[in-house]
Amino acid sequence: MLYLVGLGLSYTSDITVRGLEVVKKCKRVYLEAYTSILMQADQKSLEDFYGREVILADRELVEGGSDQILAGAEQDDIAFLVVGDPYGATTHTDLVIRARELGIKIETIHNASVMNAVGACGLQLYQFGQTVSLVFFTDSWKPDSFYDKILENRKIGLHTLVLLDIKVKEQSIENMARGRLIYDPPRYMSIETAARQLLEIEESRNQQAYTPNTPCVGVSRLGSPQQKFKAATLKELTKYESGEPLHSLIVLGRQVHDLELEFLYDFVDDKEKFKKFVEEDQEYFKPPPYVPPPDDDDDM
Ligand SMILES: C[S@@+](CC[C@H](N)C(=O)[O-])C[C@H]1O[C@@H](n2cnc3c(N)ncnc32)[C@H](O)[C@@H]1O
């Protein structure tokens, strides 16, 4: 059996009781170590808590060596641990499909994910549209497909959850060119960088998917003791100091309910100013007022 086990968002003890029982009985336990981090834990503290060895699975192993992970899973139990929920944002579909092809049974043990815990900022999960990912721009590479999705969400009034890039075990171009297996330190995108990159793309696309005054929420370290939200305009967030990772950003949609706004006031610097920005932003993509068709009888 292949067990996909969600670890939750922060502590070693966020694993569920059933997840822990599985981890204890499995022959091998892999920890997916490149799409997220467990903020209050590391490999060592997990090993201590589970009382067994945990094998780090980097991108190379998961994407290129899935047969190695799945070896023997027809008769033995193998656990694949994923921070958050195994199907939250990162789905590891390839691994699941490969396991199915090999006739290996799969069981998932779910946990909290950024995709649902983000509701703690007060915005209603029902009012979110497509989630997007934002990668670190380079001088020559600024992928902007997220822009169209934010535009689509905002046209129908919905909020957008923007997940921010994580770079682990990356090689510099120089080290790669010289064939040196030296990796750069991990990098986690901050809210300031995300806000700057979003505005850079708005400047080039200029379709007003959002503006510098669009209200947003910076979400930091969800589920950890240092959890923090900051509600401000995109421009203001370019100057925010979001601190230690992990971070996400929410671009507000037009349908901000009064209760959502009330909740967000806890995370603003100036309540009246924020309210004004929300009201102004609601004018974007607002459907024109309904005008009834002319009554044919009037012509007679
Ligand atoms: C590719 S997703 C993986 C999601 C994970 N499997 C889950 O279910 O939560 C990783 C990104 O989600 C966001 N994220 C994950 N956990 C977070 C947290 N606790 N606080 C803020 N953002 C988080 C960050 O932008 C991070 O780069």
Segments of the chain assigned to CATH 3.40.1010.10: 2-112
Residue 247 known to bind ligand: yes
Tell me if residue 115 falls in helix, strand or coil: helix
**Neighbouring C-beta atoms of residue 183, cutoff 10 Å:** 14
pLDDT at residue 276, rounded to an integer: 97
Q: What is the CA radius of gyration of the chain?
A: 23
Please list, in sequence order, all residues whose beta carbon lies within 8 angstroms of the beta carbon of residue 195, skipping any fewer than 6 positions away.
216, 234, 235, 237, 238, 240, 249
**Which residue type occupies 229?**
F
How many residues in total does the chain contain? 300
Residue 114 known to bind ligand: yes
**Integer CA distances (angstroms), 12 to 86, 126, 148, 294, in order:** 16, 30, 38, 65
Q: For strand 166-167 and strand 106-109, is the pairing parallel, antiparallel, or unpaired?
A: unpaired
Segments of the chain assigned to CATH 3.30.950.10: 115-283
90 CA from centroid of ligand 1 (Å): 9
Task: Tell me the Ramachandran region of residue 296: left when phi exceeds 0, alpha when psi lies from -120 to 50, beta otherwise.
Answer: alpha
Q: Check whether the bond before 246 is cis (ω within 30° of 0).
A: yes
Tell me if residue 66 falls in helix, strand or coil: helix
Name the token pair of 159: 């909020």
Cβ of 217 less than 6 Å from ligand 1: no
Q: What is the pLDDT along the chain (300 residues), one digit of tens a residue?
A: 999 999 999 999 999 999 999 999 999 999 998 898 899 999 999 999 999 999 999 988 988 889 999 999 999 999 999 999 999 977 788 999 999 999 999 999 999 999 999 999 999 999 999 999 999 999 999 999 999 999 999 999 999 999 999 998 777 777 777 777 777 889 999 999 999 999 999 999 999 999 999 999 999 999 999 999 999 999 999 999 999 999 999 999 988 999 999 999 999 999 999 999 999 999 888 888 889 888 866 555
Name the token pair of 142: 């600024």
Out of 7, 36, 110, give the residue to mutate to test ligand 1, the one with the largest number of ligand atoms within 8 Å of its CB.
Answer: 36
CATH number of the 115-283 domain? 3.30.950.10
Count Cβ atoms within 10 A of the Cβ of residue 250 and give its class: 0-12 exposed, 13-18 middle, 19 or more buried.
Answer: buried
27 CA from centroid of ligand 1 (Å): 28
The model's pTM:
0.94
Please list, in sequence order, all residues whose beta carbon lies within 8 angstroms of the beta carbon of residue 191, skipping any fewer than 6 positions away.
164, 218, 220, 230, 237, 240, 242, 247, 249
pLDDT at residue 300, rounded to an integer: 54
Query: Considering only the top CATH level, what class is 2-112?
Result: alpha beta
